[in-house]
């Protein structure tokens, strides 16, 4: 329970379905709030002076909202201290940016915390399932994979897209371990966002109209560069801005300020749109190019997680390369047990190392991995 409308409505729906519900809130440790803001002339992003406050996930007020919802539903509520685990996620986030990759901390939070450490806690208190407010579904489908044993169950749990495609979050859930799928419940996955807000209003929850969180929980001011400077200290990451031919166009103050596909705040003006094509941490160069330079026909991925029983050596699917990406037709070839190459039917814009690629068969998540 994060204190938002989705997880609060999930608790309501579970209770209506007859479950005995226990509310859990993840405390991330001391967080930072913007205290004094000014504008940096170098990258036009806010610079903040951090002010520590009580432990919280997104904020202390979120913890209070979650507790009030639990009280109104008369369910037990636990605030778990996950400061060490959140430090691991912050380390991952900083390491990826400083390595020139684009991290996805939401996927890691789901893998390590919500369906990792929270599931461990659930088992310790005798719970049979773990639920969240994600817009996704767990459906049982007929087993059809080749090689199934005769005594195998006739149906298996499958992770599928949420009914509200505009809010679907199955992409960030691909890393759930297959063996716990039948222990996972996504109560809001069969509803639209307006329906969930209306349910919260009818239940009298004060969070019914609470805005959705748009930022990473440990960077509430959305200033990634400022977070990296505060968290890791000053690194000399300044270098050259170059074109795709290696010609020097100018200089930048730190390659961690740039991500693949970025168009704004390039530090130099052009007569037509230009984008970040590559970030090279070893040379500290940021490569600038045209849109066509970002169209990729293939990608390679590793650290795979499969949610199907049998993985063919080669198969067709729809592949999604970021949370807001429209799935693209693709063919996947297994290179070894933990590495694949993806061939797109049509080249895709902005393939970013460090992001996830997730494979779908219709609405079902087959699995995914990390783009290298």
**CA–CA distance, 19 with 187 (Å, rounded to integer):** 12
Catalytic entry in 37, 217, 317, 327: 217
CA Rg value for the chain: 22
Catalytic status, residue 109? yes
CA distance linking residue 269 with residue 202, whole number of Å: 52
Which of 57, 58, 106, 109 does the annotation list as catalytic?
109
Task: Give the separation between CA 357 and CA 321, rounded to whole angstroms.
Answer: 4
* Distance in angstroms (rounded) separating the CA atoms of residues 118 and 25: 9
User: Which residues are marked as active site?
Assistant: 109, 217
């Amino acid at each position: 329970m994060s204190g938002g409308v989705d997880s609060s409505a999930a608790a309501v729906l579970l209770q209506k379905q007859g479950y005995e519900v226990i509310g859990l809130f993840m405390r991330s440790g001391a967080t930072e709030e913007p205290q004094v803001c000014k504008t940096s002339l170098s990258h036009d992003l806010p610079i903040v002076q951090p002010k520590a406050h009580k432990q919280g996930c997104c904020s202390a007020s979120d913890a209070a909202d979650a507790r009030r919802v639990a009280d109104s539903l008369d369910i037990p509520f636990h605030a778990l201290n996950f400061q060490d685990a959140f430090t691991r996620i912050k380390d991952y986030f900083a390491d990826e940016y400083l390595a020139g990759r684009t991290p996805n901390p939401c996927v890691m939070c789901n893998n390590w915390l919500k369906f990792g450490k929270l599931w461990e806690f659930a088992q310790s208190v005798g719970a049979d399932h773990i639920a969240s407010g994600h817009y996704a579904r767990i459906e049982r489908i007929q087993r059809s994979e080749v090689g199934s044993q005769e005594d195998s169950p006739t149906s298996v749990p499958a992770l599928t897209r949420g009914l509200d495609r505009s809010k679907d979050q199955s992409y960030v859930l691909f890393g759930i371990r297959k063996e716990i799928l039948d222990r996972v419940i996504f109560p809001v996955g069969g509803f639209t966002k307006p329906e969930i807000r209306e349910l919260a209003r009818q239940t009298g929850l004060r969070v019914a109209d609470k805005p959705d969180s748009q930022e990473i929980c440990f960077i509430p001011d959305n200033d990634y560069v400022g977070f990296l400077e505060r968290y890791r200290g000053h690194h000399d990451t300044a270098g050259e801005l170059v074109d795709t031919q290696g010609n020097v166009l100018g200089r930048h103050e730190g390659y961690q300020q740039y991500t693949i596909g970025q168009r704004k705040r390039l530090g130099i003006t052009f007569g037509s749109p230009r984008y970040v094509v590559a970030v090279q941490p070893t040379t500290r160069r940021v490569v600038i190019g045209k849109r066509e330079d970002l169209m990729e026909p293939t990608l390679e991925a590793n650290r795979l997680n499969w949610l199907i029983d049998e993985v063919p050596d080669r198969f067709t699917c729809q592949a999604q390369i970021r949370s807001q990406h429209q799935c693209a037709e693709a063919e996947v070839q297994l290179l070894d047990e933990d590495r694949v190459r993806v061939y797109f039917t049509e080249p895709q814009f902005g393939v970013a190392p460090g992001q996830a690629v997730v494979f779908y068969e219709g609405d079902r998540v087959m699995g995914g991995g990390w783009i290298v």
